[in-house]
Amino acid sequence: MLKEYIEIKDEVKKALDENKPVVSLESTIISHGMPYPQNVEMAREVERLVRENGSIPATIAILDGKIKVGLNDDELEYLGKAKGVVKTSRRDLPFILSKKLNGATTVASTMIISEMVGIKVFATGGIGGVHRNAQETFDISADLMELANTNVAVVCAGAKSILDIGLTLEYLETHGVPVVGFGTDEFPAFYTRKSGFGVDYKVENTKELAEAINMKWKLNLNGGIVIGNPIPREYEMDSDMINNVIENSVKEAEENNIKGKEATPYLLSKIKDVTKGKSLEANIKLVYNNAIVGSKLAYDLLNSK
């Protein structure tokens, strides 16, 4: 039944059939997260890094109403340039498919599709979470509910720092989602290595991590796992400066009534302008770092008991 709606790239299908490691990658970061041509250059380099570290990359998107698991170079280029690509989360999937539209998958929908086809590891930039002032707006990303229910391990540089990180971690704890620090005791804050909040567990390498993840799923403890992998130190931004920029940008978004799925792209673009592109460079470098860890983790998940 699903074959009608999902097209798996030959290279990815072969890897899945032969029980070889595959890492899924989202497409919202390409169509909504970065400007052209940096978005396409980033997507190609992420795929290269996944391959170089032992796994097969599967960038996921929806093109003409068909779920694509693994994109070719022309499709990556198209996603990077096309206008009107719909930011697609769980609630959007049935409509984007039935209307035969183009959709860029978020963390939530990438997790859903990954689980459908049997991909266990997903590398991204940062997860969505509880937005600042959520006690008034109730603005909480669907990514968090997906992490509570969908069996995919997500390697990220923490939650996007435009969010309320403390409330995001509280939400994950309530839903039993383990939050792991990769080589760190502190949950990373996207552009910076520290957030002021601890993690549930610290792991030193992907082998140790793979053993814990395999144990979780053997025990039928459904749901994902968040692996907080800090941005490399040399690309970290100054925390006081970036927090000041974020607070001003959030205030401006509120004044302009920008909310919902429009909020994150708006804030990231604003932050890029104010930091004169430094935040974009940091974003790209942290994604590369996550791709490397995700690739090694996918390999170790298949080779650990």
Query: What mean pLDDT is predicted for residues 32-38?
Result: 91
Residue-wise DSSP of 247-267: HHHHHHHHHTT--GGGHHHHH
Identified catalytic residue from 26, 47, 77, 236: 26
Partner residues linked to 122 by β-bridges: 24, 154
> For the chain, what percentages of helix, strand and coil (3-state, to nearest 5) are there?
50, 20, 30
Catalytic residue list contains 7 = no
pLDDT, tens only, 102-144: 999 999 999 999 999 999 999 999 999 897 776 666 788 899 9
**pTM (2 d.p.):** 0.94
pLDDT score at 267: 76
Summarize the confidence of residues 165-186 as an average pLDDT.
97
Average pLDDT over residues 197-210: 98
Q: How many helices (H) and strands (E) does the chain have?
A: 13, 11
Q: Is 160 a catalytic residue?
A: yes
DSSP per residue, 137-164: H--B-HHHHHHHH---EEEESBB-TTB-
- One-character DSSP codes across 62-101: EETTEEEES--HHHHHHHHH-S--EEE-GGGHHHHHHTT-
Mean confidence (pLDDT) of the chain: 93
Terminal Cα-to-Cα distance of the chain (whole angstroms) = 33
Report the C-alpha gap between 196 and 60 in whole angstroms.
33
Residue with the larger pLDDT of the pair 247 and 137: 247
Residue partners of 300: CB distance under 8 A and separation at least 6: 206, 207, 209, 210
Query: Within 10 A of 57 (CB to CB), how many other CB atoms are there?
Result: 27
**Model pLDDT for residues 2-26, shown as the tens digit of each residue:** 678 999 999 999 999 999 999 999 9
Residue of 9, 87, 120, 160 marked active site? 160
Tell me which DSSP letter residue 235 carries: G
Distance of CA 291 to the CA centre of its chain: 10
Q: Please, are residues 195 and 187 in contact by the beta-carbon 8 Å criterion?
A: yes
C-alpha–C-alpha distance, residues 117 and 128, integer Å: 23
Is the backbone peptide bond immediately before 37 cis, with ω within 30 degrees of 0? yes
